[in-house]
């Protein structure tokens, strides 16, 4: 039986399941139709929540909700948190206010804040009165941070201790906090006003001697981030210092939340996707490629394509300007795609390296002079090597003069492409623009136009009167 047949029989709305999960989806659909709640509960216990959520996401929202209702509230909330955001909101709209409030209360703090942001204003006003006051205030606080900031991806589910606690009492306190904490392996130490003082690991607490206090065990050199800082900076700090969680503080230095390593991985994945799109001069999509509509994909790509069309006009103008040289030496046209393509490729490589280096902080504005100097050497060597490779073809097609023109043009065009690729990300970033747009088509278009001018200028200078009769 084919995957398409299974998907059709299961009543799926999407076809993004692995083959084994398509079989599971068909079984879930059949158990829902027959009301076999026991089998459904059994399959939920035998599979990982992420796999079960993938199956539920492929069903109709009302069927997904029907399956969730068969589970205990904590399992229901965990599965609901694994659903894609669009599926969450679709399922939420089929719930009663009380039912939605129960799931929201059982979800982790950051996940319910994400869901809350995706509800419309009417749905938010309906949900909030059904929550306890503490949950309501926490939800409002987490949802108030602008998208893209560390505050927008943090959670208030963290474990905190005061420095005066003895180890035995600290461990007892951790047992109380553990059920509501994302992680207890890294515990943060705060004073009476919740100002961050340091951190202590669970390992150190377990190995400590009786009578020792938390303040004696904590380290005060704790990386931290302000809530209004970019979220990618939080992910960078977690990767750099190999943290389980990064504390987030407000302007007064008070601990307001943490960004966990799994959330940092999600941030890095999203940022990498956005960078890939920008490198290809594609606008950010509001959905995955498989879910995006034809119009959404068209809108994401058309603006830059039209702009680059007019940018490529300069290549045509360059060719038109050297019309006499081309007419006298038609053989030069044979090497034109090869040369300008090499310049564009070299530029794209340089731009890709530089965009990534700027994004990771490996290179800063103060390094521009050093980077440019090194690129001159590297691109020069690349161009010289490529010139040696293409010279025999120049000799074969046009003789010594044409071979010299092609070789010299190759060196200069590759050098020029490399310098454009290195410089453009710096220039864009210096003016507060996105350096990722300097890669791919943009660099190639600029390098193409410059390559045409370089190539035919050399040809005109070396072969000024060698006109064929």
| Element holding 146 (H helix, E strand) | none
Compute the distance between CA of residue 424 and CA of residue 249 in angstroms, rounded to an integer.
35
Residues of the chain with pLDDT under 70: 1-23, 275-292, 436-439, 464-469
Q: Is 467 inside a domain boundary?
A: no
Helix axes of 109-118 and 133-143: crossing angle, nearest 10 degrees: 70
Q: Is 17 inside a domain boundary?
A: yes
Q: Is 300 inside a domain boundary?
A: no
Q: Is 237 inside a domain boundary?
A: yes
Residues 218 and 139 in one domain: no
C-alpha separations of 283 from 273, 287, 305 in Å: 11, 12, 11
CATH no. for residue 8?
Answer: 1.25.60.10
Q: Is 420 inside a domain boundary?
A: yes
How many domains would you assign to the chain?
Answer: 3
For position 410, what pLDDT does the model report?
Answer: 94
Last residue of a domain, one of 212, 240, 269: 269
Last residue of a domain, one of 269, 294, 327: 269
Residues 241 and 341 in one domain: no
Give percent of the chain with pLDDT exceeding 90.
31
Burial class (CB in 10 A: 0-12, 13-18, 19+), 216: middle
Compute the distance between CA of residue 211 and CA of residue 209 in angstroms, rounded to an integer.
6
Q: Is 202 inside a domain boundary?
A: yes
Residues 376 and 437 in one domain: yes
pLDDT tens for each residue of 64-80: 888 888 888 888 888 89
| Element holding 197 (H helix, E strand) | strand 196-201
In the sheet that 225-226 helps form, which strands lie side by side, from edge to edge?
225-226, 245-249, 255-260
Q: Is 328 inside a domain boundary?
A: yes
pLDDT tens for each residue of 374-433: 999 999 999 999 999 999 998 888 889 899 999 999 999 999 999 998 988 888 888 777
For position 216, what pLDDT does the model report?
Answer: 93
Quick one: DSSP state of residue 368?
Answer: H
Residues 214 and 319 in one domain: no
Residues 379 and 262 in one domain: no
Residues 93 and 177 in one domain: no
For position 158, what pLDDT does the model report?
Answer: 92
Domain with 397 in it: 312-462
For position 20, what pLDDT does the model report?
Answer: 58
Residues 141 and 240 in one domain: no
For position 12, what pLDDT does the model report?
Answer: 44
Give the list of residues 6+ apart from residue 231 with CB closer than 8 angstroms, or none: 148, 149, 150, 152, 153, 259, 267
Residues 368 and 317 in one domain: yes
Compute the distance between CA of residue 160 and CA of residue 300 in angstroms, rounded to an integer.
45
Give the list of residues 6+ apart from residue 367 with CB closer than 8 angstroms, or none: none
Token representation of residue 450: 């410059």
Residues 231 and 363 in one domain: no
For position 437, what pLDDT does the model report?
Answer: 65
CATH no. for residue 236?
Answer: 3.10.580.10
Q: Is 102 inside a domain boundary?
A: yes
Token representation of residue 360: 């990771």
Sign, CA torsion 302/308/310/312 = negative
């Amino acid at each position: 039986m084919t995957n398409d047949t299974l998907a059709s029989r299961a009543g799926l709305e999407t076809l993004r399941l692995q083959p084994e999960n398509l079989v599971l989806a068909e079984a879930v659909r059949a158990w829902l139709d027959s009301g076999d709640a026991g089998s459904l509960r059994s399959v939920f216990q035998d599979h990982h929540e992420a796999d079960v959520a993938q199956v539920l996401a492929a069903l109709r929202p009302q069927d997904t909700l029907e399956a969730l209702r068969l589970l205990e509230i904590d399992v229901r909330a965990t599965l609901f948190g694994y659903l894609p955001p669009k599926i969450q909101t679709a399922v939420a709209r089929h719930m009663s206010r009380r039912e939605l409030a129960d799931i929201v209360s059982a979800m982790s703090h950051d996940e319910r804040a994400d869901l809350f942001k995706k509800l419309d204003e009417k749905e938010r006003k309906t949900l909030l009165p059904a929550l306890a006051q503490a949950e309501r205030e926490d939800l409002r606080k987490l949802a108030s941070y602008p998208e893209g900031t560390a505050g927008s991806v943090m959670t208030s589910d963290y474990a905190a201790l005061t420095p005066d606690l003895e180890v035995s009492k600290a461990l007892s306190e951790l047992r109380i906090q553990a059920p509501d904490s994302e992680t207890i392996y890294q515990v943060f130490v705060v004073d009476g006003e919740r100002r961050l003082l340091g951190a202590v690991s669970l390992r150190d607490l377990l190995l400590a001697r009786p009578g020792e206090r938390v303040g004696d065990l904590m380290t005060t050199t704790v990386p931290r981030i302000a809530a209004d800082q970019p979220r990618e900076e939080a992910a960078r700090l977690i990767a750099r210092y190999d943290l389980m969680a990064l504390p987030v503080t407000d302007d007064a230095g008070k601990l307001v939340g943490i960004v966990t390593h799994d959330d940092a991985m999600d941030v890095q994945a999203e940022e990498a996707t956005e960078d890939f799109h920008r490198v290809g001069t594609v606008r950010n999509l509001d959905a995955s490629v498989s879910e995006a509509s034809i119009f959404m994909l068209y809108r994401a790509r058309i603006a830059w394509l039209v702009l680059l069309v007019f940018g490529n006009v300069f290549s045509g103008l360059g060719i038109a300007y050297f019309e006499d040289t081309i007419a006298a030496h038609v053989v030069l046209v044979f090497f034109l795609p090869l040369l300008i393509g090499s310049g564009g490729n070299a530029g794209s490589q340089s731009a890709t390296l530089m965009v990534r280096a700027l994004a990771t902080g490996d290179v800063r504005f103060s390094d521009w002079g050093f980077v440019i100097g090194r690129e001159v050497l590297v691109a020069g060597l690349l161009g010289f090597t490529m010139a040696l490779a293409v010279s025999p073809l120049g000799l074969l097609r046009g003789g010594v003069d044409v071979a010299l023109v092609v070789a010299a043009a190759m060196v200069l065009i590759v050098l020029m492409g490399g310098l454009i690729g290195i410089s453009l990300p710096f220039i864009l970033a210096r003016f507060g623009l996105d350096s990722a747009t300097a890669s791919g088509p943009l660099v190639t278009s600029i390098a193409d136009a410059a390559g045409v001018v370089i190539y035919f200028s050399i040809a005109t200078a070396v072969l000024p009167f060698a006109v064929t009769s």
